[in-house]
Structure 1
Amino acid sequence: MISLRTTTCCQIKECLTLSRSEVWPYALVLSARLLRIWPHEELASTTQLDPNLCELLRHVVRLRDALVDGPRSLFSLINSDGLHPGSTSHESVIVDEDLGELVIDELDRVCLVALETLGPELFLTEGLLPLEPIVNELESGSVDLCRSWALLLLARAVPKKPCRLHFFTERMLPLADRALNVAKNVVAAMAAKQDEKFGGAALITAGITVTRQIWAGLSMFVRQSPQDWSELSTGGFGRRLVKELANTSALRPTVLMAFRRLALAAQQSETGLIAMRGGAKLAIPTMLSLYENAESPVHLSLRQQIRSTLAAYFPCLSSKVSVFFPQFFPQLTSFLLFGD
């Protein structure tokens, strides 16, 4: 199996350098299917991934980075082997725009499948698909963000195996904070000068967008019961979630989704129940406060999300928990039983 995988990876990578770009979608479809059917145990049993598989994935990432501006840039990626001897021009290479769009879709598919099969802890690393270059570009003042396409995959990915929340808190959350700091710094600079810096608005928008998209990647880590419930300790990530829920309206849907899925997963785990019960002293009052204050019709969606989250959280609580917030517990019961 290892020998076959090595040979196949090398051949697919070679296909993705041919001037006959119409073969690229087929090579990419094959790549995605092979990533799905290769035994997960074999991929996880070694201390590191097959070097040829890594090289294929790196090549796919490089191709997708180069196509961030659309299919018309495909011609620059095509090997000139198909041209006449001595020619270095790409003028004779004709690229159909529909073909370019198809290639982009299939490149995204391969990366999404790799993210789901290998997991974010293996794929979102320095050697394969690091996200840090996106934030580095922001911090340098650029809004081109050639790897911004990768952020759109984070919320879509459904990893095949449970993930560690520690990876999100240690590797992804700092990037989100750095991106948000870029936006904050530009706002402060513009306010100090009482004048809009050229490109400042675009940089603010990009920083906020990157922050939200990285946070959306939290969904990968709560699709299943996390491997490290201890990350949700009152003084750890759990407190950060409550803080964002209370203060950052743009992140509330993501945070409520995380609490909802974690609560459902905790019902099957004693460790999870302990973690969720410990966090209830902060999380439940915050949700109830938001619910009470969200009376405007524009907040209808938020109220529905809070109600769904409370309904998922309620089975995790024991009667003893009510002593920590007696003024809130009857109200919570009313929400769940009567909906108001």
Structure 2
Amino acid sequence: MQWFKTPFIARCLMALTFVVVLISGSYELVFVKLFVTDEIATCVVEFPISKQSLWIYIHQIVSIIHIIVPLLINLCSTAGIIAIVVKNKMSIRMVNKCQLYAHLLSRRQKKISLNVSGPFGKLHAIGDEPSPHACNRSTGIRSSSKSLTVMSINVSATVYSSNDEVAITWTPVLASCIDDFVGIYFVNIDPWNACDYFDYKFVKKDQRSTSWHMANLRHQLDSRYYSRDHNCSGNYSLITKSPVIEPLNYNEPTHAHLAYGNRIDQICVSYLTNSSEFIPQCQYRLSPLSLNFQQNGTITTYTASYMCEEKATIWGPQPFIHPGYMHTILLENLRP
């Protein structure tokens, strides 16, 4: 029925309707007569006496058609318009419901991804729970009572830059648990606090190595091996830890970003460092060999007290760590 909705067909139907109406009423022009009496003019349709009954019958049918057909057209048009409006509203509501569902699903997926994806490049399946997520964060034990032997954890590098890959290796233990794990920590995190990791990786049977995709947290870090006591049903205990891993440059500029300003001749330069000691400065020009233009910027930061969520207001390796200092420089009067 799509052909019925094309503009050409619609125009043809309109023209045909007009022609049919004219033809159906044209016979009256043959039989119409004008009577003038006492300054009153009257038009009368007078049919021949020989076939008067037939013409009267035809005239009545035509008159009825001229009344009913426009009425039916108006009723059908009104019903069609109402149906289209209702359908559009239902479609809009359905789209809104789908968008709301997609938004809720997206938020749920983001929430799940935040819970299962570590900042040092480890993807954790939902099946990894409940451990070490559910390990007892309020208690711990001073040393392992298990007869485990992990000689040491070795690292491929003791200094790193952002996005470096640091491999760690160890000798497998003989009586490991299914939820043994290695984690990466601030060096000042108490060994009792097994769950205060930045990221972790479960250790599979006979596994000897893993790696961290490093992020510059501007702190010294180490890797630790934890296992459970009491036939793998007790608290996590520290088995061993690695040498200290530290940033090659504690004040390494990270997260550099360029953005348009309010005008076409403005560019906003921003980056992150560990220090607010020095005024941020940008040198620029058309040629990298002669950067003789320079512009100073501003420094800002935020702390846990600025956050809204309860967990984010607590200082710690998982709830909140200091973000560093954000440097912003506005370059103006640039050539488009």
Greater helix content: 1
Bin the TM-score by the shorter chain.
Answer: under 0.3
TM-score, normalisation: structure 1 = 0.20
Which structure has the larger Rg?
A: 2
